[in-house]
């Protein structure tokens, strides 16, 4: 959904089965509780497991279109101010902030008999996609942050999830629900084939994601399992995946058609128009012998943009890079990917020229495989 500020104050967005209400007002969404709730929050404001929380929120921190400004001494104090800005006066509350527009909100609900699970998600990922285990940007010591790479700028991009479950979950079960929720978020991002901006792998989230889980501690129905084999786990997985995908589409246009480009499939490995042009320049004479010639980069760029959605090329790129993934993960041997990527390229793209497949044995095999892929792209887009 796309929310719009009508200037009349808070707007009711959704009412849960247990009476909890999701509201929107310019720059913020929040849930007001009808009764006592058990809450598990990743926020610095009243985070952790709490039994006394009166409401939860997600606030857009952009002071203008381009920057998030911290006006208080600490992030915790900033969140306290944000809560008051949207009218959450009863304390304690817990909440998240984001540079994504909360107006691009996805609310997804699924139910089974008396069980209802609702996810309210906002999301941005294009500028901060990261995979668990990627190299860190900083380390913390005694309350101070030290940049590991001072030249690297950490950009904003956040997936925030409010997940409401209308039945009673013990603290350990609610924590297990957080695991299922996080796995579902990672699955949604992988299914969209979003690459990490900090490694060659698919992303599992952004570097600043937040999650708040709410369960109804007054319910007479108590659940003991939130894992994937349980119905609760299934519902959590479904609503979170759907909501994450819709939120990323609304915020950044992330969807199957956008991802159906070799620039999107290849950029995690550095296969972009720029790197393809560089490949052509380095080996211009060889390409010219094959009848492939571009006088200016603009000529190649025009053909690149025209053909990068070609079905055969996109499928070939996806399969080629997946074999390279498996080589990095030690699931395929180098001889296997050298042989099979060559057969794949010959069979799908129709390339027979042996030079395209040459490898410099003195260089690292992964880099040579990527060079081979770029040559194939130049050949494909440069042919008549």
Domain positions in the chain: 11-254, 262-382
Pairing status of strand 144-147 against strand 138-141: antiparallel
What pLDDT is stored for residue 177 in this prediction?
A: 98
Query: Does the pLDDT of residue 66 top 70, yes or no?
Result: no
How does residue 108 score in pLDDT terms, banded at 50, 70 and 90? very high
Express as a percent the part of the chain with pLDDT over 70. 96
What pLDDT is stored for residue 2 in this prediction?
A: 87
Calpha distance 143→308 (Å, rounded): 47
Calpha distance 65→108 (Å, rounded): 27
Express as a percent the part of the chain with pLDDT over 90. 80
Tell me the DSSP string of 215-247: E-TT-S-EE---STTSHHHHHHHHHHHHHHHHH
Residue 9 sits at φ, ψ, to 5 deg, of 100, -155
Quick one: average pLDDT of 67-82?
Answer: 83
Quick one: average pLDDT of 265-274?
Answer: 95
Quick one: average pLDDT of 308-316?
Answer: 97
Query: Does the pLDDT of residue 327 top 90, yes or no?
Result: yes
Residues whose CB falls within 8 Å of the CB of residue 91, separated by 6 or more in sequence, listed in order: 54
Quick one: average pLDDT of 256-273?
Answer: 95
Quick one: average pLDDT of 42-61?
Answer: 95
Across all residues in the chain, what is the average pLDDT?
92
Domain formed by 11-254, architecture: 4-Layer Sandwich (3.60)
What pLDDT is stored for residue 127 in this prediction?
A: 87
Query: Does the pLDDT of residue 260 top 90, yes or no?
Result: yes
Residue 13, token pair as written in the block: 């967005």
Buried b (16+ CB within 10 A) or exposed e, 298-310: eebbebbeebbeb
Q: What is the pLDDT of residues 135-159, one digit of tens each?
A: 998 899 998 888 887 545 566 679 9
Range of 4-8, 54-58, 356-360 with top mean pLDDT: 54-58
Query: Does the pLDDT of residue 362 top 70, yes or no?
Result: yes
Q: What are the strands, taking DSSP E only, across the chain?
A: 11-15, 21-25, 28-32, 38-41, 48-50, 55-60, 93-98, 106-112, 115-123, 129-130, 138-141, 144-147, 159-165, 168-169, 205-206, 210-215, 222-223
What pLDDT is stored for residue 383 in this prediction?
A: 84
């Amino acid at each position: 959904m796309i929310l719009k500020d009508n200037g009349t104050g808070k707007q009711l967005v959704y009412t849960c089965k247990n009476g909890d209400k999701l509201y929107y007002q310019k720059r913020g969404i929040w849930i007001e509780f009808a009764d006592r709730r058990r809450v598990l929050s990743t926020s610095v404001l009243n985070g952790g497991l709490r039994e006394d929380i009166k409401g939860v929120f997600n606030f857009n921190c952009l002071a203008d279109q381009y920057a998030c400004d911290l006006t208080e001494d600490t992030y915790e104090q900033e969140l306290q101010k944000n809560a008051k800005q949207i009218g959450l006066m009863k304390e304690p509350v817990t909440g998240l902030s984001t540079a994504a527009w909360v107006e691009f909100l996805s609310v997804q609900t699924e139910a089974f008999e008396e069980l209802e699970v609702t996810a309210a998600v906002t999301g941005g990922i294009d500028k901060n996609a990261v995979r668990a285990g990627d190299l860190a940007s900083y380390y913390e010591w005694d309350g101070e942050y030290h940049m590991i790479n001072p030249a690297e700028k950490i950009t904003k991009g956040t997936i925030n999830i409010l997940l409401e479950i209308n039945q009673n979950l013990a603290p350990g079960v609610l924590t297990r629900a957080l695991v299922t929720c996080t796995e579902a978020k990672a699955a949604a991002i992988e299914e969209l084939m979003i690459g990490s901006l900090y490694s060659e792998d698919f992303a599992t989230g952004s570097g600043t994601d937040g999650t708040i889980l709410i369960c109804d501690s007054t319910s007479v129905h108590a659940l003991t399992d939130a894992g994937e084999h349980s119905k609760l786990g299934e519902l959590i997985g479904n609503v979170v995946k759907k909501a994450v995908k819709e939120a990323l589409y609304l915020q950044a246009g992330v969807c199957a058609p956008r991802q159906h480009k070799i620039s999107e499939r290849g950029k995690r490995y550095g296969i972009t128009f720029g790197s393809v042009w560089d490949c052509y320049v380095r080996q211009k004479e060889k390409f010219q012998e094959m009848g492939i010639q571009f006088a200016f980069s603009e000529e190649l760029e025009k053909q690149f943009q025209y053909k990068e959605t070609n079905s055969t090329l996109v499928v070939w790129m996806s399969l080629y890079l997946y074999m390279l993934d498996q080589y990095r993960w030690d699931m395929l041997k180098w001889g296997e990917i050298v042989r099979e990527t060559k057969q794949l390229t010959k069979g799908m793209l129709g390339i027979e020229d042996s030079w395209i497949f040459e490898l410099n044995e003195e260089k690292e095999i992964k880099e040579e495989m990527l060079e081979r892929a770029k040559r194939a792209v130049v050949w494909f887009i440069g042919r008549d």
